[in-house]
Structure 1
């Protein structure tokens, strides 16, 4: 049995140099050399009880870690123990503790440049990393969902004791909801080669910032499947750790630099999801450490850390939630201004029926195409076609993890129903907003504006009369300042969603609407 006291023959005393312990291993320092040993433990997610397993894992760890730090990992040897037996250990060149990234961050050192160098190293590593069908199989929605389920199952015994039940339930609900609607995004990541044999456990404690570049140590070696992942997931682990250490700005710098060096086009929601996954996995490991703690203080510290990590997971899942916002109202009510403001504030994509209608007709969006009521590109058929295309594009973006603002009139309940279908089909949180202002104010705005809308005061009046009640929509008074209206809309969006998808269930088939089905009455609907 490996203990934490000095146990190597002839290595006690001054030359011994110290010891570092983790939940699964020991590192013994002797001068400028470090010997890394595996504990004979079974932690559910790894089992090192047999000596041959420890020997095999040591050899595999050497091979894998030489990919990023060849000059640090020297070899594998058998160390004599005090009881006459021996223990396999990885022989490593000792790294200077004062250059450990975690130490630098805790001290408040300016390490943004170091973080950027780490991002460059990881981007290059991922570009050349091993790929293949077996590796790719671990990067899709099914594999990611399985990893979440595994971690949640292992955390189950801590619900209501170490971790609050509501917190764990929310993590479960939000993580499932994201995956329910993002299969196209994750399939695309697999198809474009982003799933690789990576590091698997990128933490600031295992990175050393040296003058000639970073040394990145201690990859995940005990389970190949957990190291086969999206490169973004790999880097998100370090982003999570930097945030945990009090450096959210460093986490943002890391992700920005990695995106640049990899020329990646991932949606921000996916980065948030991977950071959340990493935080929750770390919360599980920390909860296990609390369970194994030798003293009450160790247990209390580990418990507090597990709670913080679980909360970090929840916060990123909330931030990465994919949203669909439908903003409607009669002409002149300010819905386009509000849509742009929301998109800028929340980082969303705006799809406008005014622009799309003209695009479909081959007309420059800035050119006016005013016609009579229900004529030309404002006929019922054109309106149905416009809304069908609007919803098809929205569905595609939502499935790819992009949140969307739909800027249209939405006066027809049939069209509104298809918006709800798009939210269900993509497991997205739906908020519906109806802009409203006094008719005379709307008329004055219409008379003064010069934008893509073709609606005049007569059209606006007819649309007001034709509008049906919008069940569930939050009315936003746009007769105040733009800032006040935007704050009211933000409050509505951040409140509980109008539609909370129940798993992957949908009430209607998640197909794109037939343009003919998008008009429930004979009149068209210019916006």
Structure 2
């Protein structure tokens, strides 16, 4: 692979005039930034959770990468191309027998990445809308599939701990890792019935799988979510709550808690998937350990002197510990006032500053009657949705959701008029 990398840094390896080649490396791939394109070459590695060890496997996963990423980054992923070799050297997009394959992508300014942009509310709102629509359009996993079964959920979590230990990098942290794994297992067992319920309800879907800020970009005024997991179906056929947990973890770890709460509430308003919330802390802890494992693998590749990567590992470990700590005592806020008096505006500010799940009576009323959040509630349902019976059902649903969220340790603000004392 080193010979190929050196060759692709030369302009004569490319099928068009090249002024410069920029090379980036991850623990599983080499990326070459050439003029208006990016070419990704998968490393011939077998890390347990992925296997790129043969040329045929690398070809297959190039095709999978194109298929999966066209869903949330249309126009960004262009083709699977071959690399050939003759007496003059390696040639990208050449004729003849392939010695390697690459995924060809359209290049964009790296300053557009969400881990580099000064993120604002508009970015987060657009992302929440995009992800909610993406998840809603995905079909659930087939009933006969193993995905979503509790043991299938636990396996990659246990694997993270095992593979970190096998690397042998942090003997001084062995006891800490063992205690963290025990807490993760306890949380898993407590959530086992909930995991079965989520599967039965159809929330196991072919998700993105790797939705952190470094895989999201603002390109020509639109959100692009790219570099989804192609190499392991088990890691993308997951609960949609698991998918957004990675993003929430990344925002929180970078000190952007307010934006994390903004994304979560916006996403929940669009999907109505409040029953995924009790799993979020568990999944955020898992996602932190994924990143800790990646940091450990990079440390092996970079050498023991990489202090920044060591600190990154330690930071993710600490975050995972915080996620798996018992939840504190949650709080409940309710509003009081006539419609149009500014309650929802106030709640939107409050939920981001204090970290609250925002339950809106207008949205839940529409949802009960099969209407989309943006639908006109004055029509489409015969007799309207503001009858006394409909209002009773709406408050009943708000009470049900608030109780579930409070039990899971989340503070809640219920946004409704509450004009009657009995409410």
* TM-score normalised to structure 2 length: 0.71
* Correspondence for 1:316 among 298, 309, 323: 323
2:107 paired with 1:94 = yes
**Which runs of no fewer than 5 residues in structure 1 stay unpaired?**
324-344, 349-396, 405-527
SS at match of 1:218: coil
Higher radius of gyration, 1 or 2 = 1
Q: Map Cα deviations across residues 113-133 of structure 1 (whole Å, 9 max, x no partner).
A: 212211111111111113232
1:130–1:175 CA distance, 2 compared to 1 (3 A): same
1:321–1:134 CA distance, 2 compared to 1 (3 A): farther
SS at match of 1:101: coil
2:101 and 2:299 map into 1 onto residues whose CA distance is 28
* Correspondence for 1:10 among 6, 9, 12: 12
1:308–1:163 CA distance, 2 compared to 1 (3 A): farther
Q: Which moved more, 1:75-84 or 1:218-227?
A: 75-84
Kept in 1, the 8 Å contact 2:128–2:263? The answer is yes
1:251–1:63 CA distance, 2 compared to 1 (3 A): same
Q: Map Cα deviations across residues 423-473 of structure 1 (whole Å, 9 max, x no partner).
A: xxxxxxxxxxxxxxxxxxxxxxxxxxxxxxxxxxxxxxxxxxxxxxxxxxx
2:150 paired with 1:144 = no
1:54 aligns with 58
1:156 and 1:274 map into 2 onto residues whose CA distance is 21
2:311 aligns with 304
Query: What's the CA shift for 1:110?
Result: 3.9
Kept in 2, the 8 Å contact 1:269–1:320? The answer is no
Kept in 2, the 8 Å contact 1:2–1:40? The answer is no
Q: Pairwise mapping of residues 204-219 of structure 1 onto structure 2 (< 5 A)?
A: 204-219=213-228
1:195 and 1:277 map into 2 onto residues whose CA distance is 17
Q: Map Cα deviations across residues 163-191 of structure 1 (whole Å, 9 max, x no partner).
A: 62343123212211112122222222112
2:38 and 2:243 map into 1 onto residues whose CA distance is 26
CA-atom RMSD in angstroms: 3.3
SS at match of 1:88: strand
2:248 and 2:144 map into 1 onto residues whose CA distance is 23
Q: Pairwise mapping of residues 66-465 of structure 1 onto structure 2 (< 5 A)?
A: 66-80=70-84, 83-84=89-90, 86-104=99-117, 109-133=118-142, 137-157=146-166, 161=170, 164-266=173-275, 268-294=277-303, 296-298=304-306, 300-320=307-327, 402=408
* TM-score normalised to structure 1 length: 0.57
2:361 aligns with none
2:120 and 2:110 map into 1 onto residues whose CA distance is 15
1:398–1:239 CA distance, 2 compared to 1 (3 A): closer
Kept in 1, the 8 Å contact 2:135–2:207? The answer is yes
1:225–1:72 CA distance, 2 compared to 1 (3 A): same
Query: What's the CA shift for 1:245?
Result: 2.9
1:147–1:240 CA distance, 2 compared to 1 (3 A): same
SS at match of 1:78: strand
1:211 and 1:9 map into 2 onto residues whose CA distance is 29
1:61 and 1:235 map into 2 onto residues whose CA distance is 20
1:183 and 1:309 map into 2 onto residues whose CA distance is 25
Q: Map Cα deviations across residues 233-273 of structure 1 (whole Å, 9 max, x no partner).
A: 10111111222333232222222222122111136441111
**Which runs of no fewer than 5 residues in structure 2 stay unpaired?**
91-97, 331-353, 358-402, 411-423
Query: What's the CA shift for 1:210?
Result: 2.5
Kept in 1, the 8 Å contact 2:291–2:316? The answer is yes
1:499 aligns with none
* Correspondence for 2:48 among 40, 44, 50: 44
1:196–1:21 CA distance, 2 compared to 1 (3 A): same
1:372 aligns with none
Kept in 2, the 8 Å contact 1:46–1:222? The answer is yes
1:162–1:123 CA distance, 2 compared to 1 (3 A): farther
Query: What's the CA shift for 1:135?
Result: 8.2
Kept in 2, the 8 Å contact 1:185–1:401? The answer is no
1:180–1:64 CA distance, 2 compared to 1 (3 A): same
Kept in 1, the 8 Å contact 2:261–2:356? The answer is no
1:119 and 1:162 map into 2 onto residues whose CA distance is 40
1:210 and 1:268 map into 2 onto residues whose CA distance is 30
1:66–1:47 CA distance, 2 compared to 1 (3 A): same
The size of the alignment, in residue pairs, is 333
1:100 and 1:346 map into 2 onto residues whose CA distance is 25
Query: What's the CA shift for 1:400?
Result: 11
